[in-house]
């Protein structure tokens, strides 16, 4: 990095109008549990997730429960209704669940089967519904994907007399790793997640000469135990709401096989395969038939709570170390009429998006 760029970033860090963490949060969540997604036809909608590497585990009249290979719990719940990402499920200790219930004067509710466990329902500053859970019902772990465990390198050749023959088919995901959302107010949103749920900012991204970050990647504070680089992420984008959610896989090869499988199905490719800079994940994005974007990733960073927040400039090339250039599909500019409607609705309002910032965003990306 050039000296002038380093100085500019240091100046932004000093001027940043969002703190990196809370000194005394109400509670601390420890992970992302599930998404509740509403679709008019849940059987039809489930096919995307089955192709993406999830399994339908339970059916009721109005819900489908999908899982990965982990024993933890169900990670996607499909409900009948108008298309939307309805609720985000996070996990916390029983003690922290009671702290949140007491602070917000909220009842502790019980999940119906097969989820099990208890939860408190909260709303974040954007009206997004969160369910903070403890004691979710564990599942029986499933066998790992049938991919070779041994890898021949230039120096070591452990795989002998065993040819590699990968079947191009869905590969089971391990877990739901993170979810990113576009919000009206970055300071209000990030501070709420810090003060209420104990999130730490792993990395900020800025537009030049603007003290307010345009992106915040946030991880759980699990003390000296490692956490994913980000469990939640927030940004300023034209369309408010869900940007993407991501499922972890065990290896680059699983991700590549899944890419080939999705390419044979009737889905829009979002972006990939490449490797991110912030978080370091190898990534591949696909959009379902309802327009929501989902990511396969592998080999992501893990940080404990001693790692300080990073400060970076935002640009189209600052999102990946290698791989194809960021696509129009990923940027969301393939739907101009929808974007125009959002702009007409948002620009007169007093939130983070204005004409000046919009122009700077367009130049940066």
CATH number of domain containing 135:
3.10.180.10
pLDDT at 148: 64
pLDDT at 206: 94
User: Looking at the domain assignment, is residue 61 inside a domain?
Assistant: yes
pLDDT at 264: 96
**From the CB of residue 211, how many other CB atoms can be counted at a distance below 10 Å?**
14
Q: How many whole angstroms separate alpha carbon 170 and alpha carbon 52?
A: 6
Average model confidence (pLDDT) across the chain? 93
Mean pLDDT of 175-183: 97
Q: For 219-263, write each residue's pLDDT tens digit.
A: 999 999 999 999 999 999 888 999 999 999 999 999 999 999 999
Does 341 have pLDDT greater than 90? no
Q: 194, 19 in Cβ contact below 8 A? A: yes
Higher pLDDT, 354 or 296: 296
User: Looking at the domain assignment, is residue 214 inside a domain?
Assistant: yes
pLDDT at 227: 98
User: Looking at the domain assignment, is residue 159 inside a domain?
Assistant: no
pLDDT at 355: 81
pLDDT at 346: 81
Q: Mean pLDDT check: name the lowest of 11-25, 94-108, 200-214, 322-336.
A: 322-336
User: Looking at the domain assignment, is residue 356 inside a domain?
Assistant: yes
pLDDT at 317: 81
**From the CB of residue 43, how many other CB atoms can be counted at a distance below 10 Å?**
12
pLDDT at 1: 58
| Number of domains observed in the structure of the chain | 1
**From the CB of residue 269, how many other CB atoms can be counted at a distance below 10 Å?**
15
pLDDT at 238: 87
User: Looking at the domain assignment, is residue 116 inside a domain?
Assistant: yes
Domain that holds residue 45: 3-20+28-139+171-364
pLDDT at 338: 79
Q: For 65-92, write each residue's pLDDT tens digit.
A: 999 999 889 999 999 999 999 999 999 9
Q: 182, 128 in Cβ contact below 8 A? A: no
List of residues 6+ apart from 290 with CB closer than 8 A: 39, 45, 83
How many residues are recorded in the chain? Answer: 365
Mean pLDDT of 131-141: 95
pLDDT at 191: 98
User: Looking at the domain assignment, is residue 153 inside a domain?
Assistant: no
Q: How many whole angstroms separate alpha carbon 301 and alpha carbon 278?
A: 9
Tell me the Ramachandran region of residue 92: left when phi exceeds 0, alpha when psi lies from -120 to 50, beta otherwise.
beta
pLDDT at 326: 92
Q: SS3 for 104?
A: helix
Does 4 have pLDDT greater than 90? no
pLDDT at 6: 80
User: Looking at the domain assignment, is residue 161 inside a domain?
Assistant: no
User: Looking at the domain assignment, is residue 183 inside a domain?
Assistant: yes
Q: For 12-62, write each residue's pLDDT tens digit.
A: 888 899 999 999 999 999 999 999 999 999 999 999 999 999 999 999 989
Mean pLDDT of 203-220: 94
Higher pLDDT, 145 or 163: 163
């Amino acid at each position: 990095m050039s000296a002038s760029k380093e100085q500019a970033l240091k100046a932004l860090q000093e001027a940043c109008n969002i703190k990196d963490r809370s000194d005394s949060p109400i509670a601390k969540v420890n992970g992302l549990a599930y998404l509740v997604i509403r679709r008019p036809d849940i059987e039809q909608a489930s096919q995307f997730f089955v192709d993406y590497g999830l399994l339908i585990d339970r059916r009721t009249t109005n819900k489908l429960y999908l899982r990965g290979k982990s024993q933890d719990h169900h990670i996607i719940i499909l409900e009948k209704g108008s298309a939307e990402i309805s609720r985000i499920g996070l996990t916390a200790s029983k003690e922290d669940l009671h702290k949140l219930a007491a602070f917000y004067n909220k009842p502790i509710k019980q999940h119906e089967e097969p989820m099990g466990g208890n939860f408190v329902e909260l709303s974040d500053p954007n009206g997004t519904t969160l369910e903070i859970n403890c004691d979710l019902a564990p599942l029986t772990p499933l066998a790992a994907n049938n991919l070779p465990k041994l890898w021949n390198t230039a120096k070591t050749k452990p795989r002998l007399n065993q040819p590699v023959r990968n079947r191009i088919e869905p590969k089971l995901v391990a877990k739901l790793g993170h979810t990113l959302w576009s919000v009206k107010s970055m300071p209000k949103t990030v501070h709420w997640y810090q003060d209420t749920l104990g999130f730490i900012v792993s990395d900020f991204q800025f537009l030049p000469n603007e003290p307010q970050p345009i992106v915040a990647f946030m991880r759980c504070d699990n003390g000296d135990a490692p956490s994913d680089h980000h469990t939640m992420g927030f940004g300023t984008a034209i369309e408010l709401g869900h940007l993407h959610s991501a499922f972890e896989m065990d290896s680059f090869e699983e991700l590549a096989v899944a890419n080939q499988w999705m390419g044979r199905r009737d889905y829009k490719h979002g972006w990939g395969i490449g490797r991110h800079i912030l978080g370091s994940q190898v990534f591949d994005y696909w959009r379902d038939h309802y327009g929501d974007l989902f990511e396969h990733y592998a080999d992501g960073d893990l940080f404990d709570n001693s790692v300080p927040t990073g400060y970076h400039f935002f640009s189209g090339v600052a999102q990946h170390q290698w791989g194809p250039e960021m696509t129009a599909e990923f940027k969301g500019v393939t739907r101009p009429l929808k974007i125009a409607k959002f702009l007409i609705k948002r620009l007169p309002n007093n939130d983070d998006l204005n004409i000046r910032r919009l122009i700077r965003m367009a130049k940066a990306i």
